Amino acid sequence: MKMEDIARLAGVSKAAVSLAFNGKPGIGDETRERILSIAGRAGYKPRTRAQSQEVVADTSGDRAMTALLFLVIANSGIVTSQYDRQPFFRELIHFLEQGSRAGGFPLLISAIDMERFDEDLRAIAELHSERGVILLGTNLDKGTLSRIAERLPKLVVLDTCFETLPIPFVYTNNPLGGYQAGNWLCRSGHRAIGYVASNVRIPNFDARRKGFDEAMREWGIEVMSEHEFAVDPMVPAAQDSFKNGIERLRTEGKPLPTALFCESDFIAICAMKSLAELGIRVPEQVSVIGFDDISEAVIVSPELTTVRVDKEKMVRSAVRLATEAIEAPSGGAVKIAIDTVLIERRSSSAAPPFTSDAD
């Protein structure tokens, strides 16, 4: 196995691999450990300056096979090659490290580049087919998951679910979260409710829309087409596509929505910053609700009302299923849905007494 292969499996650049092997600064401790662990498991034997010793594969004893692998398919949909810097996924990895450590299982982290999917999956399967694997499924479709499961029999998929696949899944009850957000807005007196969607579609977003729409039907509210917007889900900053939609309403003399449900916290932050640039106050004129409850939700101003995804509980369930697969594989797959909770903060309030965007 070459350095290029180690870089792909670790989801980093070749330069980062070189820094790790030579004990040089420039990468984080977790990244360095991940690179060296992958290299060791693959039998790659670099000599680091810092350690002055070889990193040798440990394939004997229980430790090698009881380590859990967290696997990411990068450069596909909303999951980039820098997935460990994306807030939601960064928090998942944090809880995975805690959970595997508490269970006495070392955690390996690896990535497959979607552009080299078949080659990278083959390499992963050769190294880890007997290992418990937790796969980040957020961005993956049914066909891709089936192909991965064929090569990795002790697989648990995290953050998505396909009910017709005989694979263990641990996922968020996204319809419930969308319903909770829509129901809260309606109970708070809002009737002109807008929807800010991701322009990159994944099943989780579609499920959130399904729950939101159910709440709207129960309250007899129709979301007007001009109150629906689509933005880049990876840019937590003001976006012209959203601002132009709001400005169009103003120009045409149409009322603004008094509230917005956003499919993720990044999208909600984008909406709030866009509204601020347009001189529209949150929540006095427009309430905003997000989804995920990432750490940034309490950093923005005003603090973001959001639907909390219990990432810690999701991860605990996934680790348990993966370790059970190592110790006593069962013949049936388990699917675990984790319910959401609406967290009220300062970005939302009761509907204003009128819907005009004038002061």
The per-residue pLDDT for 185 is 98
The CATH classification of domain 3-172+312-339, taken from the options 3.40.630.30, 3.40.50.2300, 3.40.190.10, 3.30.70.1140: 3.40.50.2300
Domains 3-172+312-339 and 174-309 share a fold: yes
| Structure confidence at residue 1 (pLDDT) | 55
pTM of the model: 0.80
Query: What's the confidence (pLDDT) of residue 58?
Result: 36
Q: Could you tell me whether strands 133-136 and 305-308 are parallel, antiparallel, or unpaired per DSSP bridges?
A: unpaired
Q: What is the pLDDT of residue 305?
A: 98
Q: What is the DSSP letter of 47?
A: B
Q: What pLDDT sits at residue 310?
A: 95
Give residue 114's pLDDT.
87
pLDDT in tens, 133-179: 999 999 899 999 999 999 999 999 999 999 999 999 999 999 999 99
Domain boundaries, the chain: 3-172+312-339, 174-309
pLDDT at position 52, please? Answer: 28
Q: Which residues of the chain have pLDDT under 70?
A: 1-2, 22-26, 40-66, 328-331, 354-359
What's the sign of the alpha-carbon dihedral 241, 138, 104, 59?
Answer: negative
User: Does residue 164 contact residue 194 with C-beta atoms inside 8 Å?
Assistant: no
d(CA 87, CA 118): 28
213: which 2 tokens? Answer: 């729409």
CATH of 174-309, one of 3.40.50.2300, 3.20.20.140, 3.30.540.10, 3.40.50.1400: 3.40.50.2300
Q: How far apart are CA 305 and CA 291, in angstroms?
A: 8
298, 313, 304: which is closest to 348 by C-alpha?
304
Look at residue 259 in the predicted model and tell me its pLDDT.
Answer: 98
Instruction: For residue 348, give the amino acid letter.
Output: S
Q: For the segment 212-256, what is each residue's pLDDT rounded down to a tens digit? A: 999 999 999 999 999 999 999 999 999 999 999 999 999 999 999
Cα–Cα distances in Å, from 285 out to 194, 241, 281, 290? 13, 20, 5, 17
C-alpha to C-alpha distances, 264 to 79, 86, 195, 271, nearest whole angstrom: 14, 13, 11, 11
